[in-house]
Amino acid sequence: MKPENSDSATPAQQSARIMALRQYTRKLLQPRLSLVAEAMADHLFNLSASAKLAPEHRTQAFEAFSGFKSRSKDFVGSLIADIDLDFENLITDRYPPSDGEQTPAELDLSELRGFENSSAIDSIVQAGTERYWGHLESLTLGLATLLDANPRTLRLPFGLRGLATNYRRYIDQLELPDFIIAELDRAFTRNLLPEAGALYQELNAVLTASGNSPIAGLNSEAEGNAPESINKLSSHNVAPLPSDQSVPDTPRSTRVPSTKRPLTQKTTSAASSPHADALSSPERYDLSGTSEHNEFRLQTSPLANLAKSDGIAEYLPGRGKPDSPPVIDEAMLTRLRLPALQSEMPENPLTQAQLDEKAQDLSARIAAIRHTEKGISHTEPLVKQLGLDTLDPELQPLRGSVQLIDNLYQTMFDTLPLTENLSHSLGNLKLPLAELSLTDPVFFQDQQHPARLLVERLSELSALAPRNSTRVEQQINEALSTIGREFDGNLSVFEKALTKINKLAVSMLKQQQRNIQRQIAAEEGKEKREQAAQQVESDLSQLLPDGLIPASLLSLIDSFLRDELVLLQLREENSPLYDNVLDRVSQTNNALQRAMETGLPLRKDAAKKMAEILPQGLGDNFLSIETQGLLKQLQQQLGGDEPITLAASSLPEPEIFAEPKFSERLATLPRLDSWVKRAHQLKLKSWISEIAPDGSSQNLQLIWKNANSTRFAFANEQGFKVKDINLIQLARELCNNLRPLAPSDELPIIERSVFQTLEKRQEDLSTLNNTPQSPSESRSVMTDAAQSHIRRAKRKGITSCALVIHAEDAAGVEHVSNRLLKSEVPIDCRGALSPTTHGLIVNTSNYEQLRKLLSDESSMAPPAGIGIATINGILSSAEAFWIHLEDIARQGLATAPNIGVVAAPLPQPSNLTSAVRETYALLQNETPPPQFSLRPLYRRALENEKVVHTRYEVLSDGIAAGNNSQRRQRYPSTALAIATDCSKVSNTCRFAESVVAAGRALPLFQLRISTEAVLHPEFLDFLLHEVSESGIGTDRLWFELTDSVQLREDNDAAHFCGTLRSIGCQISIAEVNPKRGSTAVLQKLKPHTLALDSALWPVVPGDEKLLALHQTISDLHHLVGEHVVLRKHHNDAQAQQLGIDFFETFDPDELFPESLREKLPIITR
């Protein structure tokens, strides 16, 4: 039997009705449940500050607040997801119990924490049923009519029991203390019931409006006799089921119970504010390895899951996946175990079987030493202690295997924050690892090997654990000492230790996140208090006149009103009471001022009323004696019983660190302004390294910043706040002692050890080898030398001078050089800057003596012009320094070509930024305009010579050829170099627009950018603006920089490359030469490709040092995901053997833009 007046509905109509009702219910529930969750979090926060709780309970309350607040959206999403599932099972084949009963199957006592949980659910259901029985009954019958169903077999998906059960199911997963759960129950019930009542009214109104509510006037019935009304309605409107229909004892729905649903199942982000989302607690992840989300997972056994980790870069620096997975292959390990030079290899090497036998013997010897537990120092190299440095040459691979362990420990001691006790505990692992390196060396490269995983977990734990924690150090020592005692070649001891260390690391990670959550909450509270205080000061300053105000009122504000107004702002924005109190203060001030000016006080009753009203609503029942005395004094002054005195206002100038305050301070500091922009670009959760004056470093994470990005908080690896600074302070520290992490810092500890081993090998080879230097590279050498002298001048003052000699032939250059030598002026270095100019650096600071020596010449001397200047510490660019000297030398020769040697000082440009802007504007307005062309660059992969990719290098022919010398005289040289690069960028963007407009495919563009442009503060802004305006895809742009000492040392270059890389551009470093030092330094620029100096190739077959250097460079940069290329083709087989990835060759023919555009393929749309 169906409800009366019901229309028959097809299954499709029922489905459509259910879907519409589900969507409308979600729309109503989402904001209401969000309010409930927010109120529950606020209740926990108030508990954490309550003096009624014991300190340990307050701590538990705060931890519960932090965890629940970060999961509030997850909590709401979980409840709504459960309701969605209930909508799938609206109709059952049995009579459900009433909303006050529950079957044993539904209770599921073992999963709902037994009787306590069921009692809590029953109390919530009973409280709601007593209040809203009429609404619930009407909804049940209305929904039955809507779906053409029997209401006795219908279950409300948004009923109180379902909401309460799902709530308790979620809370049980958080593993909170019992008293916290009880408090949450009260807060949930108190806040849910009003929202539920409003929800039921809304839904009933919709059903009534659609004609699907069969009980008119039910909602207006008295709610005191709910059970009788429910039974009455049920007996009159619902027919019983047939007697032969059994009632199966099954759960109330066919869906799988979600009592153990992992917390990773969430429908929205896991935080209720952008700051809380910055570092959500790791407890929201499934730490057992069963989570479907891999954002973070400290792995636990079984070991098969351990290799699937994506790292924990969000929680520790450098523990995440790099852009390219690190490459440690067997060939690289073999090279590291052997000498770098072929001449040091044994003449008669052992076979692999013989080596394996020797390795087993040496491993057994190490095991015997380990079992004696004496005679081995954990801090000294094992190679030396075991006497392996005197082994026969044919046993070099064994010595190299143990050397890898020594290098690993050296890296750990150098980079990890190890205490003395922790260092000793790690030392217990050194001998077993040495045995593994001999007998099972695959653990270096096998991501699943338990020994490797244990080393990685230990490196993470060393960063997470609090310093000098006896408990943590003892647990680590117990886990590792077992390996030292019991290791016999079986990896099970490593697996057991790994399980213990992993569990400890997880607990430390949870503690770190709790620390960070506390810091975030404290910073948010501090920010709110400061904003509220600033708002109060601003409002009071506008309310009260400047200068003198009544002393009694001022005292009342200082001692009472200001703090109360701040509290009102914190409790509620736009509070009516706040505005009312300000009005009272204004009226009181006006009354006092008027009484002073006119001599007419208020009536006694009016004065008393005004003084009594002033503190109303501000805790007036608990006023201090001091405040009561001030109010009494104020009343007497208002009534004329006491004279009114004036005092200077104590209201401070509101200091709000927001725009435009910062803009005004930065207007006169353009360099600082550029660093401020970098500070704004810092992302939450990003890691940076702080360099101390003594050279030590620590990793810091940005855990919080305010909405205006004017205040920043940084925490260390344990989650403790170490910096709380404003925007200007952060900009200055970024300029001085804060650095982004280098790619090698983001490697796992084993790969980091291999990287440092390769770096050391490259430095040794560079020392042994006289690295070739091509004639064209002489200018680069002179630039690097000048940069070194600039650094020296910053430390010691001016100690040297630089000269540029411009002469038509070598005679002029030789004449000047000989003159210096005869006068015993020490020449530090010399080299060709161009075919007609030569540079010298002399070790003397006496500029006038040099000028006199070189200018006092007869007309018979070979014509030559000289630019001469002291090298001082204020110079920023060595390349710009040489360019200016070249200009002076050319002008000297052009001015008096027949006089002989002419010397002139270096002019200092007044304003480089203005000069660049003026030069760029002049270039754009020249007639005819400067032309540009493009030169194809072909990249061929050595692994597959058929794969060739083409880029087009943008050239500026109008400047680089023809009237070059005339242009140099017309424009300042450094400004011209930067303006030329600006023109390259502009021309590329305009050409790309024309290609797109013609419907053709965009090619890859390569732009070689000068070091001067890279370091110019406005060039990057210009570049980004041009690219964004043109709409050219950033993946079509390839920027190439030229290797130099200045590029390696300047932080601006690292920021330039990092910014372009972050938007999708490719970065290449050209003319890389280890003559300038280890190429590992270039990793701070994070290039995609390194093009080696052409002088390094081809390698003479007998030059074993250069061969080894090539191989080491390739291995080192492959480890951080960088490609190595050559631009001088010679021998594919040799290049591939040495690890070269690509050959690149330039086409000799250049193309004008129009010609290239016609060759590009047409895009078929």
> Is 50 exceeded by the pLDDT of residue 308?
no
pLDDT at residue 225, rounded to an integer: 37
Task: Tell me the sheet residues that pair with 1144.
Answer: 939
Please state, rounded to an integer, the average pLDDT across all residues of the chain: 76
CA distance 1016 to 675: 13
Take residue 749 and report the two structure tokens written for it.
Answer: 């500890």
pLDDT at residue 668, rounded to an integer: 57
Contact 842, 824 (CB under 8 A): no
CATH number of 775-908: 3.30.70.270
* Averaged pLDDT for residues 663-691: 76
Q: DSSP code of 1008?
A: E
Take residue 264 and report the two structure tokens written for it.
Answer: 């990773």
pLDDT at residue 314, rounded to an integer: 60
CA distance 231 to 6: 21
pLDDT at residue 1068, rounded to an integer: 95
Main-chain phi, psi angles of 1126, to 5 degrees: -120, 150
Take residue 611 and report the two structure tokens written for it.
Answer: 């003084």
Task: Tell me the sheet residues that pair with 804.
Answer: 839, 867
* Averaged pLDDT for residues 55-64: 78
For residue 928, say if its preceding peptide bond is cis, omega within 30 degrees of 0: yes
Higher pLDDT, 1100 or 423: 423
Contact 345, 338 (CB under 8 A): yes
Residue-wise pLDDT tens digits, 1013-1039: 898 878 988 999 899 888 888 889 999
Q: DSSP code of 603?
A: P
- Give the angle 1014-1020-1021 at the CA atoms, nearest 5°: 155
pLDDT tier at 712 (50, 70, 90 boundaries)? Answer: very high
Take residue 1083 and report the two structure tokens written for it.
Answer: 């990793």
> Is 60 exceeded by the pLDDT of residue 362?
yes
Among residues 1088, 1011, 1024, 1009, the alpha carbon closest in space to that of 1052 is found at 1011
pLDDT at residue 858, rounded to an integer: 53
Higher pLDDT, 628 or 21: 628
pLDDT at residue 665, rounded to an integer: 56
Please report the DSSP string for 903-971 in residue order. EEEPPPPS-HHHHHHHHHHHHHT-SSPPP-EEEEEEEEESS-TT-EEEEEEEE-HHHHSSSHHHHHHHS
> Would strands 1089-1092 and 1123-1126 be described as parallel, antiparallel, or unpaired?
parallel
Contact 610, 629 (CB under 8 A): no
CA distance 731 to 515: 26
pLDDT at residue 264, rounded to an integer: 29
* Averaged pLDDT for residues 914-926: 80
Which secondary structure element, helix H or strand E, spans residue 701, and what is its range?
Answer: strand 697-705
pLDDT at residue 1008, rounded to an integer: 93
pLDDT tier at 1089 (50, 70, 90 boundaries)? Answer: very high
> Would strands 1089-1092 and 711-715 be described as parallel, antiparallel, or unpaired?
unpaired
CA distance 109 to 33: 26
Task: Tell me the sheet residues that pair with 830.
Answer: 840
Which secondary structure element, helix H or strand E, spans residue 832, and what is its range?
Answer: strand 827-834
- Range(s) of the chain covered by CATH 3.20.20.450: 933-1159
Please state the three-class secondary structure of 373-428 as a single string: CCCCCCCCCHHHHCCHHHCCHHHHHHHHHHHHHHHHHHHHHHHCCCCHHHHHHHHC
* Averaged pLDDT for residues 922-928: 74
> Is 50 exceeded by the pLDDT of residue 284?
no
Residue-wise pLDDT tens digits, 382-391: 888 888 877 7
Take residue 574 and report the two structure tokens written for it.
Answer: 């736009």
How would CATH label the architecture of 933-1159?
A: Alpha-Beta Barrel (3.20)
In a 3-state reduction of DSSP, which class is residue 512? helix
By CB neighbour count within 10 A (0-12 exposed, 13-18 middle, 19+ buried), where does 609 fall? middle
> Is 60 exceeded by the pLDDT of residue 1040?
yes
- Give the angle 277-281-283 at the CA atoms, nearest 5°: 140
* Averaged pLDDT for residues 722-745: 86
CA distance 1001 to 950: 13
Query: Which stretch of 148-152, 323-327, 515-519, 568-572 has the lowest confidence by average pLDDT?
Result: 323-327
Which secondary structure element, helix H or strand E, spans residue 1071, and what is its range?
Answer: strand 1066-1072
Can you tell me which residue has the tokens 């601003």? 538
Residue-wise pLDDT tens digits, 622-661: 678 888 899 999 999 998 888 888 887 766 554 444 444 5
pLDDT at residue 280, rounded to an integer: 32
Largest CA distance in the chain: 132
Higher pLDDT, 153 or 577: 577
Query: Which stretch of 15-24, 713-722, 922-931, 1110-1119 has the lowest confidence by average pLDDT?
Result: 922-931
pLDDT at residue 901, rounded to an integer: 55
Take residue 850 and report the two structure tokens written for it.
Answer: 């040099």
Take residue 395 and report the two structure tokens written for it.
Answer: 């046993």
pLDDT at residue 817, rounded to an integer: 80
Percent of the chain with pLDDT over 90: 11
In a 3-state reduction of DSSP, which class is residue 705? strand
In a 3-state reduction of DSSP, which class is residue 640? coil
Residue-wise pLDDT tens digits, 990-1001: 999 999 999 999
Residue-wise pLDDT tens digits, 1041-1067: 988 877 887 778 888 998 898 888 999
Residue 374 vs residues 16, 247, 369, 428, 431: alpha-carbon distances, Å: 80, 76, 7, 11, 12
Take residue 730 and report the two structure tokens written for it.
Answer: 């952060």
CA distance 1052 to 249: 73
Contact 152, 234 (CB under 8 A): yes
Higher pLDDT, 959 or 671: 671
* Averaged pLDDT for residues 724-736: 87
Strands (E), 835-921: 837-842, 864-870, 901-905
Contact 221, 134 (CB under 8 A): yes
pLDDT tier at 92 (50, 70, 90 boundaries)? Answer: low
CA distance 594 to 550: 11
Residue-wise pLDDT tens digits, 741-793: 888 888 888 989 999 999 988 888 877 655 554 444 577 778 888 888 888 88
Main-chain phi, psi angles of 31, to 5 degrees: -70, -30
Task: Tell me the sheet residues that pair with 866.
Answer: 805, 903
Helices (H), 150-225: 160-173, 178-209
Residue-wise pLDDT tens digits, 166-188: 888 888 888 788 888 888 888 88
Please report the DSSP string for 85-131 in residue order. HHHTT-B-SSPPPPTT---HHHH-TTTTTHHHHHHHHHHHHHHHHHH
Residue-wise pLDDT tens digits, 1116-1151: 998 888 999 998 766 778 888 888 889 999 998 889
Contact 1163, 1003 (CB under 8 A): no
CA distance 887 to 894: 10
Higher pLDDT, 962 or 811: 811
CA distance 542 to 757: 66
> Would strands 901-905 and 933-941 be described as parallel, antiparallel, or unpaired?
unpaired
- Range(s) of the chain covered by CATH 3.30.70.270: 775-908
pLDDT at residue 48, rounded to an integer: 74
pLDDT at residue 319, rounded to an integer: 54
Take residue 988 and report the two structure tokens written for it.
Answer: 């590329």
Take residue 432 and report the two structure tokens written for it.
Answer: 């077993």
Take residue 627 and report the two structure tokens written for it.
Answer: 């405040």
For residue 1098, say if its preceding peptide bond is cis, omega within 30 degrees of 0: yes
> Is 80 exceeded by the pLDDT of residue 156?
no
pLDDT at residue 162, rounded to an integer: 78
* Averaged pLDDT for residues 719-737: 88
Q: Which of 190-199, 263-272, 932-941 has the highest mean pLDDT?
A: 932-941
pLDDT at residue 220, rounded to an integer: 35
Taking each helix axis from N to C end, the angle separating 492-543 and 470-486, rounded to the nearest 10 degrees, works out to 160
Among residues 283, 294, 268, the alpha carbon closest in space to that of 173 is found at 283
pLDDT at residue 16, rounded to an integer: 76
